């Protein structure tokens, strides 16, 4: 068997999840139990991305802190940030999360910028900072392919797992490994095309474990704007938002318990 | 000591051989990268039935994404333009390695309208995927305005990813050629000035020759060797060979007159 040219992570979620039939009964937990009545209050979500536009109406004043990673003499340093959102992407993710969990608090960890073009070290430092800060959920719409950073990413992702921080990571449709999106303990997410922010799928054939809406998603964008976007990076914040709702209602659930709850309430067809 | 010296000399000759081959290959093949990338954007534009498709490659000093090739009715004007990697949709895709598509780009205030206007074409939708060479992003493939649809589907994104993988492979293949000659120049300079121990020379040799085609029987390498042997010829002899090749070349492009 030859390797496919590219991982088609969204493939299992096509056609309303018809290929995801589950016979294992894990649906004793329902959505009402999972997040009924929850607004995400008391939960802090880190957006590790291009920054957040605090004044954007989609973020309705929920940004409580903004930091950026700067590279000083080759060493990453986390500093307070007032640059807003350089691309609009972080704001888009924040908006999606608040659309599901309107009362979460958002922390912006900007790891992209003029001097940071996709530097794995900056991304790693931002992730470490977020875990140290004790956020309950972090949304990661980027990942690194640097093999040299594998051990460091592995360490911080384990640290997050043991501390109970849910790392929600957009799957990356490129060949080869990417960190941390394909680590076992993160919530790895690819896009499905059903226009429903509440529709999620559990994929029993990892590495990508969850499917959420990521096609033609109306999103907030830079300079108070909005647009329509497609990509796995818009699917991930839907899962992050749902995780925030569950954590808000059931504080103390560990990442594997949160995954089990998501799998239980997923829209997979049941036999 | 004599054998050390012999081995160094042998290594030196091997490196010279590699450098010669690399230089001649570059000379003979022309700008392969450009040709391959152009064929990829042309295929992309055709398959997507898009107004334009283009590839931007990352270049340093200053850091920028330079549009190298384009296809489609609205593509041509983008060639030669550069955008900073910290800006725009193309910059985001390059910086994060995340593929994405935006529609109603016109309504998106963050869309880099100035760049679009310089090309004389402002798109309504854009899909962009990163070109990843091994562990590193090297550029971005983008498609503007699919004619049949206002937005891009998951299938579109996956297809575009497959084209991007091809483009990255093309860039990688030609970069090996460029890097080889750069490495060899370094090595020659070092060998001339300082003494290297055997292991260092050995590792340099293997690094320099690892990616070279060793198939001596391949017609291409036979031709390279033959052409490279012309080095010692006089100008008059070279002109003669050049005339002969020109006739052969003309013949090859006019199949109707063959025979």
pLDDT in tens, A74-116: 889 999 999 999 889 999 999 999 999 999 999 999 999 876 6
CB pairs under 8 A between A and B: 141
> Which of B92, B103, B130 lies at the smallest CB-CB distance from A50?
B92
> Of A109, A112, A152, whose CA–CA distance to A133 is shortest?
A109
Rounded-to-integer distance, Cα B141 and Cα B149, Å: 19
Q: A254 or A15: whose pLDDT is higher?
A: A254
Give the separation between CA B234 and CA A13, rounded to whole angstroms.
68
Higher per-residue confidence, B185 vs B65: B65
Chain A residue nearest residue B89, CA to CA: A87
Separation of alpha carbons A222 and B111, rounded Å: 9
Q: Do β-strands A137-140 and A166-170 pair in parallel, antiparallel, or remain unpaired?
A: parallel
Across the interface, whether the CB atoms of A118 and B101 are under 8 A apart is answered no
The 10s digit of each residue's pLDDT in A187-222 is 999 999 999 999 999 999 889 999 999 999 999 998
Assess if residue A114 is contained within a domain: yes
Q: CA-CA distance, B235 to B241, in Å (whole number)? A: 10
- pLDDT at B119 (0 to 100): 67
CB contact under 8 A, B151 and A230: yes
Q: Note whether B108 contacts A227, CB cutoff 8 Å.
A: yes
**B69 contacts: CB under 8 Å, gap ≥ 6:** B34, B37, B38, B40, B41, B54, B55, B79
Residue A228 near chain B (CB below 8 Å): yes
- Check residue B135 and give its pLDDT: 79
Greater confidence, A3 or A68?
A68
pLDDT score at A1? 46
Cα–Cα nearest to A91, from A112, A70, A77, A76: A112
| CATH, residue A75 | 3.40.50.200
User: Averaged over B205-232, what is the pLDDT?
Assistant: 63
What is chain A's mean pLDDT, rounded?
91
Instruction: Give the pLDDT band of residue B216 (cuts 50, 70, 90).
Output: low
A26 pLDDT band, cuts 50/70/90, is low
pTM confidence score: 0.78
What tokens does A230 get?
Answer: 């497609």
What range defines the domain where residue A58 resides?
A: 39-264
Write out chain A residues lying below 8 Å of B88, CB-based.
87
Distance CA A225, CA A205 (A): 37
- Reported as a single tens digit per residue, the pLDDT across B15-41 is 767 666 666 666 566 577 788 899 999
| Minimum-distance CB partner of B101 among A116, A225, A229 | A229
Distance from CA of A145 to the nearest CA of B (A): 5
- Residue B24 CA, distance from chain mean position: 17
Report helix, strand or coil for B49.
Answer: coil
B67 and B80 Cβ atoms separated by less than 8 Å: yes
Is A216 within a domain? Answer: yes
CB contacts, 8 Å: A55 with chain B: none
**Shortest Cα–Cα distance, A227 to chain B (Å):** 6
Q: Is A228 in contact with B92 (Cβ distance < 8 A)?
A: no
**Closest CA of chain A from B89, distance in Å:** 7
A134 class by beta-carbon count within 10 Å (0-12 exposed, 13-18 middle, 19+ buried):
exposed
Chain B CB contacts of A192 below 8 Å: 154
A195 interfacial to chain B (CB closer than 8 Å): no
Chain B residues 17-56 with CB within 8 Å of chain A? none
Active site residues of A: 49, 89, 233
Report yes or no on A270 lying in a domain. Answer: no
Spatial CA neighbour of B118 closest among B60, B162, B79, B88: B79
Short-list A191, A216, A194, A211, CA closest to B102: A216
Does pLDDT of B108 surpass 90? no
Cβ distance of A225 and B151 shorter than 8 Å = no
Q: Compute the average pLDDT of residues B194-206.
A: 59
Nearest-angstrom CA–CA distance, A190 and A212: 7
With an 8 Å Cβ cutoff, is B75 touching chain A?
A: no
Closest approach of B105 to chain A, Cα-based (Å): 7
The string of DSSP letters for chain A reads -PPPSS--TTGGGHHHHTT--B-S--TTS-HHHHHTT---TT-EEEEEES---TT-GGGTT-EEEEEEEEEETTEEEEEE-----SSSHHHHHHHHHHHH-TT-EEEEEE--STT-TT-HHHHHHHHHHHHHHT-SEEEE---B--GGGHHHHHHHHHHHHHHT-EEEEE---SSS--BTTTSTTSEEEEEE--S-TT--EE-SSSSS-EEEE-SSEEEEETTTEEEEEESHHHHHHHHHHHHHHHHHHSTT--HHHHHHHHHHH----B-
- The minimal CB distance from B109 to the residues A191, A216, A223 is found for A223
Q: Is residue A25 part of a domain?
A: no
* Sign of the dihedral defined by the CA atoms of residues B75, B81, B84, B85, in that order: positive
In-domain check, residue A32? no
Q: What is the mean pLDDT of residues A235-261?
A: 97
Q: Is the pLDDT of residue A56 over 70?
A: yes
pLDDT tens-digit series, residues B235-244 = 888 888 888 8
Q: Which residues of chain A are within 8 Å of residue B86 when distances are taken between CB atoms?
A: 86, 112-114, 116-117
Examine residue A67 and state whether it is found in any structural domain, yes or no.
Answer: yes
The SS3 of residue B139 is strand
> Of the ranges A230-244, B46-60, B126-140, which is most confident?
A230-244
- % of chain B residues with pLDDT over 90: 24
| A155 domain residue, yes or no | yes
In this predicted structure, the answer to whether residue B48 has a pLDDT above a threshold of 50 is yes
Looking at the complex, report in whole angstroms how far the Cα of residue A68 sits from the nearest Cα belonging to chain B.
14
Range of lowest pLDDT (A65-69, A255-259, B252-256): B252-256
CB atoms within 10 A of CB B150: 12
Query: Mutation test of the interface with chain A: which of B94, B154, B163, choosing the one with the most A Cβ atoms within 10 A?
Result: B154
**What tokens does B197 get?**
């121990």
Answer whether residue B7 shows pLDDT above 60.
yes
User: Mean pLDDT throughout B78-103?
Assistant: 89
Number of domain units in chain A: 1
**Is residue A122 less than 8 Å (CB to CB) from chain B?**
no
Alpha carbon separation from B147 to A14, B101, B121 (Å, rounded): 23, 15, 15
> Under an 8 A CB cutoff, do A176 and B94 touch?
no
Q: In what order do the strands lie in the sheet with A105-110?
A: A75-80, A63-72, A105-110, A44-49, A137-140, A166-170, A187-192, A210-213, A201-202
- Which residue in chain B is spatially nearest to A146 when comparing CA positions? B135
pLDDT tens, residue by residue, A166-179: 999 999 877 778 88
């Amino acid at each position: 068997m030859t390797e496919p040219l590219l991982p088609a992570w969204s493939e299992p979620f096509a056609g309303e999840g018809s290929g995801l039939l589950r016979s294992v009964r894990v649906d004793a937990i329902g959505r009402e139990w999972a997040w009924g009545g929850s607004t995400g209050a008391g939960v802090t979500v880190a957006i590790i991305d291009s920054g957040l536009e605090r004044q954007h109406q989609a973020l309705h004043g929920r940004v409580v802190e903004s930091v950026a990673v700067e590279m000083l003499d080759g060493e990453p340093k986390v500093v307070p940030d007032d640059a807003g959102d350089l691309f609009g992407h972080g704001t888009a993710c924040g908006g999606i999360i608040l659309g599901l969990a309107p009362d979460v608090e958002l922390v912006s960890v900007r790891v992209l910028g003029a001097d940071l073009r996709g530097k794995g070290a900056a991304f790693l430092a931002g992730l470490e900072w977020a875990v140290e800060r004790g956020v309950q959920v972090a949304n990661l719409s980027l990942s690194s392919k640097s093999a040299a950073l594998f051990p460091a990413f592995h360490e911080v992702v384990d640290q997050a797992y043991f501390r109970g921080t849910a790392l929600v990571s957009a799957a990356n449709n490129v060949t080869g490994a990417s960190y941390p999106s394909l680590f076992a303990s993160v919530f790895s997410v690819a896009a499905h095309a059903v226009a429903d922010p509440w529709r999620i799928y559990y994929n029993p054939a990892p590495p990508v474990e969850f499917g959420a809406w990521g096609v033609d998603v109306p999103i907030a964008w830079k300079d108070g704007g909005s647009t329509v976007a497609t990509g796995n990076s818009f699917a991930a914040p839907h899962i992050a938002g749902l995780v925030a709702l569950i954590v808000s209602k059931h504080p103390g659930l560990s990442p594997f318990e949160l995954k089990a709850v998501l799998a239980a309430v997923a829209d997979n067809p049941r036999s | 000591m004599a054998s050390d010296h012999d081995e160094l000399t042998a290594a030196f000759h091997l490196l010279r051989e590699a450098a010669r081959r690399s230089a001649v290959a570059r000379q003979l093949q022309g700008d392969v990268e450009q040709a391959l990338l152009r064929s990829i954007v042309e295929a992309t534009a055709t398959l997507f039935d898009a107004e334009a498709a283009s590839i931007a490659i990352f270049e340093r000093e200053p850091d920028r994404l330079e549009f190298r090739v384009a296809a489609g009715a609205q593509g041509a004007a983008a060639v030669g333009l550069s955008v900073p990697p910290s800006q725009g949709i193309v910059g985001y895709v390059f910086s994060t390695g995340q593929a994405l598509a935006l529609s109603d780009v016109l309504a998106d205030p963050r869309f880099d309208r100035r760049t679009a206007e310089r090309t004389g074409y402002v798109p309504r939708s854009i899909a962009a995927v990163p070109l990843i060479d091994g562990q590193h992003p090297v550029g971005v493939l983008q498609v503007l305005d699919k004619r049949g649809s206002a937005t891009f589907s998951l299938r579109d994104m996956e297809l575009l990813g497959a084209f991007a993988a091809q483009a990255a492979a093309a860039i990688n293949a030609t970069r090996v050629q460029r890097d080889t000659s750069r490495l060899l120049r370094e090595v020659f300079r070092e060998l001339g000035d300082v003494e290297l121990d055997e292991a260092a020379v050995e590792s340099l040799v293997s690094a320099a020759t690892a990616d070279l085609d060793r198939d001596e029987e391949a017609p291409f390498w036979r031709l390279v060797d033959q052409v490279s042997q012309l080095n010692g010829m006089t100008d008059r002899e070279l002109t003669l060979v050049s005339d002969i090749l020109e006739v052969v070349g003309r013949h090859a492009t006019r199949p109707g007159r063959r025979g």
